[in-house]
Amino acid sequence: MKRYVYPSKIKGTIKAPPSKSEMQRAVAAALLATGESLILNPCFSDDSIAALDMIKKMGAKVKKSSELVIIKGGLDIKDEIRTEAAGNAASRVAAIPVVREALLARQRAFREPPGLVADGRDMGTVVFPDAALKIFLTASPEERARRRYNQLIEKGLDANLSHLVAAIAERDQRDANRSVAPLVPAQDAEVIDTSELDIEQTVARVQALVRERLGL
């Protein structure tokens, strides 16, 4: 039986069977919940231990023993998830099949009338393959690094442009070559290279496609 636990303020208990994949799902569910979650009979694997270490670094309270794992989730991490470190970590976690499967139903649940604009590296190929319009925005690693550098500096954060270029190129290669939901444009996607475009020009291109394809 698959378990999907949505954000909740109540305290929840998950009795995990002796399965490493179910344990990974339980960890993900506990982090999404806003209350305190108990995972009984944990079955640890390298992936689940790495996931627990990661969410501890994000600020979640985690206590674990051979018989019990307690996780207090519901973190307000809207700023932290936009950091370069979080992006690189997400890229690595995204390569774990059970993580992607556990989150897929939750992602698709966001689609409600009158429609949805979704942003992500596999939105058009995996999450919403039947989308009415798919746009694959891209730019050179150097240009994306320059934009990211400016964002970080504006927020008062330290940044190194050469390190950003290397990190972005590495993430692109890792995501493009992963076995699960690789980073590729959908066959019916409109590809827009924004390397030489500013924000206004990019928006104009997208709006033109919306009018042309959707009649809006």
Name residue 12's beta-bridge partners. Answer: 37
75, 56 contact by CB (below 8 A): no
Name the residue with tokens 């942003």.
Answer: 119
Q: What's the fold here for domain 80-214?
A: Rossmann fold (3.40.50)
Indicate the burial class of 106 (C-beta count within 10 angstroms; 0-12, 13-18, 19 or more).
middle
pLDDT 10s digit of each residue in the chain, 216 long? Answer: 333 333 444 445 555 444 556 666 667 666 666 667 777 767 677 767 777 776 676 666 777 776 667 666 655 555 555 666 666 666 666 666 766 676 787 788 888 888 888 888 788 998 899 999 999 999 999 999 999 999 889 988 888 999 999 989 988 888 888 777 788 899 999 999 999 999 999 999 999 999 998 887
Q: What confidence score (pLDDT) does residue 136 get?
A: 95
Measured CA distances, 216 to 16, 66, 206, 213 (Å): 48, 57, 12, 8
Tell me the C-alpha to C-alpha distance, in Å, between residue 154 and each of 33, 102, 148, 159: 32, 35, 10, 10
The span from the first CA to the last CA of the chain, in angstroms, equals: 42
